[in-house]
Chains A and B, each alone.
Chain A
């Protein structure tokens, strides 16, 4: 429901000439808005600038610009501090988990939304109820479940657990979405002799694309930023994901005080998110707020 509203809002063109230019309140309003923009952006910009400074500059002049940009910080963080490896681990784990989540989540949501059978509601609630439990509650037994399956500290282990915890919301979101899709196209496809899975993959899934994009973005960010699950289930430093590696680094670097390297690592961790955001910012904000309103 929210999505349809979202789309109509976005589709309504701004009435030409009605955009207010000046009004008496404009100055204090802009001042308030600008203040928060500075509060938001300043720490981020400061970290980026610091990633180009020498340790000496960082320690003695926190507000200055670098005399000459130290690109070496970045390569040191990428190779010596293993940020590059953590980055790759994150890509593998999140990529695998995202594919699995979207496949399983859309299958379940579609089956529950478009087929009548006994136990349909029950299965729906079994999935959706999991959204209301804190992950902390499951943490201890989950560790032993993963350990007994021999999956502790492995890519498949993390991928399966990530997907298992992302599927409930995906089902919840896409279930509502599949219900709003018209049934005529699917019926026509059945008439033409299309199989059930053929209808799903070739007719319904393409029609559900906006919903898939929204929940896909939401899931990607959630999985990319996951910290608690890898902290417990992924003890092997060679397989650390980015957030985990950065946290470990900030503790150990603190002692060695390679400040510039850590700032560079921090910036590297922020960069892909920033690039994705600049490219898709409208989709991302719509997708994430739609997820919350549901």
Chain B
């Protein structure tokens, strides 16, 4: 039996560990080393340049554009998505009796809202590329049909609008997921709390602020981390949808796109790796901040 136990454990763990070591662990480890070299892909030609790549990042104006755009998205996309998501999720429950039961038809709404979450970001980017098309797109078509011709724009070609247009797509594609997530969190709040609030004469907004929001806080934090990570990426949408890609004047450049271009178009593998390391530390900081704020206090429900 003892013998069989070890044989089984080895058989269960070793193949996955080998796969993990070769395709996941070793690339991650190599990336840190590569970021300190000027490697351009020719075997044996990697010179150690220390922090040189990182110093160059600071003077790369396109990379700085990317950092700025990612930073803007990191703030705006989670805030807007969570705002709309919480609004719709609590609306679903507000409409019902006692501020508690989901309104009739909320299941059907959730089905529709959730669908974009399932689509590939490429599909979403191609679709919205059409929607934003200045001549025959859905958006300008709609504006023209209601007589607002003056508001029509080349959404993706104008430097001041392109980033907003990209963020709108990210928000559009993720709101539904968070409506479902928050709605489930609200469902799990004990009904008595809403009834008590109602008895105390609390209105919709007061109930939301004092009962719903504190009790779905954990879900909101999870949402911030996930949306933050998505906002630090945004590669697929930008690469497929915006001109260049990277937008007019680098207006929609993101770190991932800079990395991809430097590595696989210019062959600057060391430099691109330094961007990867920078992105890693940004992600790590985000996760640590979110986890630490999550530890503050937990509301216990008796």
Decide: B16 and A107 in contact? CB cutoff 8 A.
yes
CA–CA, A270 and B34, complex, Å? 39
Decide: A140 and B31 in contact? CB cutoff 8 A.
yes
CA–CA, A221 and B114, complex, Å? 13
* Nearest chain A CB to B118 CB, angstrom units: 5
- Chain A contact-residue range equals 35 or more
B256 beta carbon closer than 8 Å to chain A: yes
* Among A35-43, A67-75, A181-189, A207-215, the stretch in contact with B: A35-43
Decide: B126 and A62 in contact? CB cutoff 8 A.
no
Decide: A126 and B25 in contact? CB cutoff 8 A.
yes
CA–CA, A134 and B31, complex, Å? 12
Chain A, residue nearest B109 (CB): A33
Flag A168-202 by CB within 8 Å of B: 1 or 0 each: 10010000000000000000000000011100100
Flag B147-173 by CB within 8 Å of A: 1 or 0 each: 000000000000000000000000010
Decide: A30 and B95 in contact? CB cutoff 8 A.
yes
Instruction: Among B23, B103, B259, point to the contact of A145 (Cβ < 8 A).
Output: B23
B141 beta carbon closer than 8 Å to chain A: yes
Decide: B15 and A104 in contact? CB cutoff 8 A.
yes
Instruction: Among B9, B34, B184, point to the contact of A140 (Cβ < 8 A).
Output: B34
Count contacts on B: residues with CB < 8 A to the other chain.
105
CA–CA, A33 and B12, complex, Å? 48
Q: Give the A-B pair count, Cβ closer than 8 A.
A: 283
Measured between beta carbons, the chain B residues less than 8 angstroms from A270 are: 119, 123
* Nearest chain B CB to A126 CB, angstrom units: 7
8 A Cβ contacts from A34-63 to B: 36-37, 39-44, 46-47, 50, 58-60, 62-63
Decide: B118 and A284 in contact? CB cutoff 8 A.
yes
Decide: A269 and B123 in contact? CB cutoff 8 A.
yes
CA–CA, A165 and B22, complex, Å? 11
B232 beta carbon closer than 8 Å to chain A: yes
* Nearest chain A CB to B189 CB, angstrom units: 12
CA–CA, A259 and B135, complex, Å? 13
Measured between beta carbons, the chain B residues less than 8 angstroms from A200 are: 8, 12
Decide: A243 and B120 in contact? CB cutoff 8 A.
yes
A1 beta carbon closer than 8 Å to chain B: no
Q: Given that A33-B109, A47-B127, A246-B126 are known contacts, is A164 also in contact with B119, CB under 8 Å in the complex?
A: no
A132 beta carbon closer than 8 Å to chain B: yes
Chain A, residue nearest B115 (CB): A277
* Nearest chain A CB to B23 CB, angstrom units: 4
Decide: B131 and A43 in contact? CB cutoff 8 A.
yes
Instruction: Among A43, A111, A139, A225, point to the contact of B276 (Cβ < 8 A).
Output: A139
A123 beta carbon closer than 8 Å to chain B: yes
Decide: A195 and B4 in contact? CB cutoff 8 A.
yes
A256 beta carbon closer than 8 Å to chain B: no
B86 beta carbon closer than 8 Å to chain A: no
A11 beta carbon closer than 8 Å to chain B: no
Instruction: Among B23, B27, B34, B130, point to the contact of A47 (Cβ < 8 A).
Output: B130
Decide: B236 and A228 in contact? CB cutoff 8 A.
yes
Measured between beta carbons, the chain B residues less than 8 angstroms from A58 are: 136
B104 beta carbon closer than 8 Å to chain A: yes
CA–CA, A29 and B245, complex, Å? 40
Decide: A33 and B92 in contact? CB cutoff 8 A.
yes
Flag A210-244 by CB within 8 Å of B: 1 or 0 each: 00000000000100110110011000000000111
Decide: B264 and A232 in contact? CB cutoff 8 A.
yes
Q: Given that A62-B141, A138-B31 are known contacts, is A33 also in contact with B19, CB under 8 Å in the complex?
A: no
8 A Cβ contacts from B103-150 to A: 103-106, 109-123, 125-131, 135-138, 140-142, 145
Measured between beta carbons, the chain A residues less than 8 angstroms from B5 are: 115, 196
Instruction: Among A42, A115, A167, point to the contact of B19 (Cβ < 8 A).
Output: A167
Q: Given that A107-B12, A247-B122, A292-B222 are known contacts, is A138 also in contact with B20, CB under 8 Å in the complex?
A: no
* Nearest chain A CB to B246 CB, angstrom units: 14
* Among B49-57, B73-81, B280-288, B294-302, the stretch in contact with A: B280-288
Measured between beta carbons, the chain B residues less than 8 angstroms from A26 are: 95, 103
CA–CA, A2 and B144, complex, Å? 48
CA–CA, A164 and B27, complex, Å? 12
Measured between beta carbons, the chain B residues less than 8 angstroms from A146 are: 23
Known: A130-B25, A141-B30; 11 extra A-B contacts, CB below 8 A, are: A19-B101, A40-B172, A43-B131, A50-B130, A62-B140, A139-B276, A141-B27, A165-B24, A196-B8, A227-B122, A246-B123
Q: 5 closest pairs, A vs B, by CB?
A: A196-B8, A225-B120, A62-B141, A20-B97, A29-B95
